[in-house]
Structure formats: C-alpha cells, structure tokens
C-alpha cells in the first residue's frame, strides 16, 4: 500500500500547485491599498515613506513571480507568512485553532455516519412500509433545512423551554472533556443532520440493490441469521458508494463548520476565517484557504485508501 500512497501524494502535487496559483492570484487582484489596511486608516493621508517601508517589509516591492515563489517556499517550510493586522504568525494561529474544527468535523461526521447508516438500513429492511415512507420524507425535509437555522433553533428553544444553555467559555477537550463535548454536541448535530439525511438516502438505495444479489440469497439459503446476512454480507458491500459520498461531503462538512463555529462562538478555523475576512487580513485568509484546500485533498486520499478495508477486491499498487 505504501507505494500507492506515495503515488497519490505525488499525483496531488499538480493540484496543489494549481490551488496555490489560484489563491495567490485571487489575493493579488483585490482592490485597495495595503498600507491603509496595515495602518488601519482608511481616509487619512499616509506618508509615502512609511508606505514604502510597509510594502518592502511585506515583500510587495519584489516582482510578482518572485513573491509567489517566496510564498510557496515559505509554505513548504511551514511558514505561511504573518498576519497583516495582528502581525502574528499565520500558521501558529491556524495550529492553535485547528483542533476545535477538527474535533467538530469528527464529531459531526460520526453522528452523521451512525445515524445515516442506521436510518438507511432500517428503511431498506422495511422497504415501502409506513416507517420507510416516514423516514424518507423526514430525510428529504432535513436536507432542505439550512444548518445555521437548525443550530440557532437548537440554541434558542432548549433555553426557552428548559432553561438549558451550553457553557459559554470554551474549554479544550484535554482540559475539561465533558464540558467540551457538551459545547460541541449541538453544533455537531446541526452539521451532521443534513449529511446524515444524504447518507441515509444513499445507504437505503445501495442496501436495496445489494440485498437482491445472489450472494445475499446464498447466505440466507445457508441458514445464516438475518442479522449476520445484513451486517456482514449486505452492509459491507453496500458501503462503497457511501464512502465515495462521504469523501465528496468533506468539503460541505468543513464549509458547515465555518458558519456553525461563528454561531456557537467556538474558537476554530471558521471563526478565524470570518474575522480575518472582516478585518481584510489577506495573508491570514490566504493561508487559511490554502490550509483548507490541503486538508480536503489529504482527506480524499484517506477516503480512497479506506476502500480497501471494505472491498478486498481493491488492491493498491
């Protein structure tokens, strides 16, 4: 498997280069003057000399191509540059906050996978019975609800009815695991719901297809319990399209964390992105977008590798 991983990593290099060129180019077309941004004075007259010093300091007086290679070279050594506004190291800011986003992503996708698979399998087993219809209507309804709305409802109404509020001050998992989980539970559910609806629909149709296959009938004919047939023979084979979908949903998942972190006031990458956008802190935004893109590409490689676990026919090499 190692040569396959290496091959995939090498194959993702052109994609990564294209990503860096896109991000770099996009940030360069932003209208407006960097000096005014750094000095945070939009209207006052600025001394041209301080301005030149700022530009030189940011490397903006060099030719654009050189700036690009400086930036990419820096990224390769873990140096994403400095924030325009706070002057802090962009990557250390990202490192500090990525655990919140990572945890939220893991929690919401686990919620989505568990509930989506359970609902999908149940609907497939009860095909065309009332339970199946109800679950299908519910899942298409979930898909239509904006996750930020669900999230805000989850904050508002428990507070109104039962006076329940999640602890405000954010605690890291390694400080107070229970408080931390309590804080992340609601946003994880809000993100996970729409994902679990899509998963449930796909699991259902994929299970229905597999259940009609000969080997499932053979397994039943051998006299295996229906639990064994469903879990070992059918489910394992129905998982392939579901995993593909999971890979495609990673982008939506991370996009979802951006808005939900903001609503729940969690100090993750999403809040960082929105505050940097509001402050027009372009170096920070540039670093964050690149970080997100790299993360998605890597997760997709991991998803591809996980095919092997579910389908022994898939061999890498």
Partner 1 sequence: MASAIEQVDLGLRRESSHSLTAIREFGKRNPIGAGAGLFCVALVILAAIGPYVAPYPADLTALPRLHSPSLEYPFGTDNLFRDMFSRILVGTRNSIGIAFGSVAFATSLGLLFGLTSGYFGGWWDMVVGRIVDVSLAFPNLVFLIFFLTIFEPTYLSVSIALGINMLPAIIRVVRGSTIGVRHQQYIEAASVVGASAVRIMVRHVLPNIAAPVIVIASIQIGYAILVEAALSFLGLSVSTAQNPSWGRMLQDTRQYWQSAWWTAIVPGLAISSAVLAFNLFGDALRDALDPRLRGSR
117 belongs to the binding site for partner 1 (CB under 8 A): no
Residues 6+ apart with CB under 8 A from 291: 80, 94, 98, 269
Position among 4, 99, 122, 148 found at the interface with partner 1 (CB under 8 A): 148
Q: Which residue from 109, 113, 116 is spatially nearest to 205, judged by alpha carbons? A: 116
Rounded CA-CA distance 143/16 in Å is 31
Q: Are 7 and 317 in contact (CB under 8 A)?
A: no
Among 64, 178, 277, 302, binds partner 1 (CB under 8 A): 277
Q: At which residue do the structure tokens 């309590």 appear?
A: 182
Find the binding residues for partner 1 in span 286-305 (CB under 8 A): 288-289, 292-293, 296-297
**Where does this chain touch partner 1 (CB under 8 A) — which range of 13-21, 55-63, 84-92, 181-189?**
13-21
Residue in 106, 159, 231, 309 binding partner 1, rule: CB under 8 A = 159
| Least gap, CB of 278 to partner 1 (angstroms) | 9
Q: Is 144 in the site for partner 1 (CB under 8 A)?
A: yes
Distance between CA atoms of 40 and 51, rounded to whole angstroms?
12
Contact 305, 5 (CB under 8 A): yes
Query: CB-wise, 180 or 198, nearer to partner 1?
Result: 198
How far is the CA of 48 from the CAs of 51, 60, 298, in angstroms?
A: 5, 15, 44
**Shortest Cβ 292–partner 1 spacing (Å):** 5
* Residue of 67, 213, 244, 262 that binds partner 1 (CB under 8 A): 262
**Binding of partner 1 by 152 (CB under 8 A):** yes
Contact 135, 207 (CB under 8 A): no
* Contact between 251 and partner 1 per CB under 8 A: yes
Which helix H or strand E contains 67, and what residues bound it? helix 64-76
Instruction: Count residues near partner 1 (CB under 8 A).
Output: 51
User: 3-state secondary structure string, 7-46?
Assistant: HHHHHHHHHHHHHHHHHHHHHHCCCCCHHHHHHCCCCCCC
Region binding partner 1 by CB under 8 A among candidate stretches 55-63, 119-127, 174-182, 283-291: 283-291
Rounded Cα gap, residues 270 and 97, in angstroms: 9
Please report whether residue 164 would count as binding partner 1 according to CB under 8 A.
no
Binding of residue 116 to partner 1 (CB under 8 A): no
Does residue number 202 form part of the binding site for partner 1 (CB under 8 A)? yes
Q: Is 306 in the site for partner 1 (CB under 8 A)?
A: no
Chain contacts with partner 1 (rule: CB under 8 A) = 14-15, 18-19, 22-23, 26-27, 29-30, 140-141, 143-149, 152-153, 156, 159-160, 198, 201-202, 205, 208, 248, 250-256, 258-259, 262, 273-274, 277, 280, 285, 288-289, 292-293, 296-297
């Amino acid at each position: 498997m190692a040569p396959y991983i290496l091959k995939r990593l090498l194959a993702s290099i052109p994609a990564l280069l294209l990503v860096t060129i896109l991000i770099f180019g996009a940030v360069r077309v932003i209208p407006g003057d960097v000096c005014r941004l750094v000095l945070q004075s939009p209207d006052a007259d600025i001394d041209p000399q301080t301005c030149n010093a700022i530009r030189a300091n940011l490397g903006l007086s060099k030719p654009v191509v050189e700036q690009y290679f400086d930036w990419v070279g820096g990224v390769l050594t873990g140096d994403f540059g400095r924030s325009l506004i706070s002057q802090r190291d962009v990557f250390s800011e990202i490192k500090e906050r990525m655990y919140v986003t990572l945890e939220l992503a893991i929690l919401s996708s686990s919620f989505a996978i568990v509930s989506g698979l359970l609902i999908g399998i149940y609907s497939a087993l009860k095909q065309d019975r009332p339970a199946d219809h109800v679950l299908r209507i519910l899942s298409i309804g979930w898909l239509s609800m904006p996750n930020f709305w669900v999230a805000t409802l989850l904050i508002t109404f428990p507070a109104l009815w039962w006076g329940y509020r999640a602890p405000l001050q954010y605690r890291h998992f390694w400080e107070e695991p229970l408080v931390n989980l309590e804080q992340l539970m609601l946003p994880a559910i809000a993100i996970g719901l729409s994902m679990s609806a899509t998963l449930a629909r796909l699991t259902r149709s994929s299970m229905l297809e597999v259940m009609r296959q000969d080997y499932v009938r053979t397994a039943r004919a051998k006299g295996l319990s229906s639990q064994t047939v469903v879990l070992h023979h059918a489910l394992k084979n129905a998982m392939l399209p579901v995993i593909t979908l999971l890979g495609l949903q990673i982008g939506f998942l991370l996009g979802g964390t951006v808005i939900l972190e903001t609503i729940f006031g969690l100090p993750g990458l999403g809040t960082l992105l929105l505050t940097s956008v509001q402050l027009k802190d372009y170096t920070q935004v540039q670093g964050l977008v690149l970080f997100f893109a790299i993360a998605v590409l890597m997760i997709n490689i991991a998803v591809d590798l996980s095919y092997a676990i579910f389908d022994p026919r898939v061999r890498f090499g």
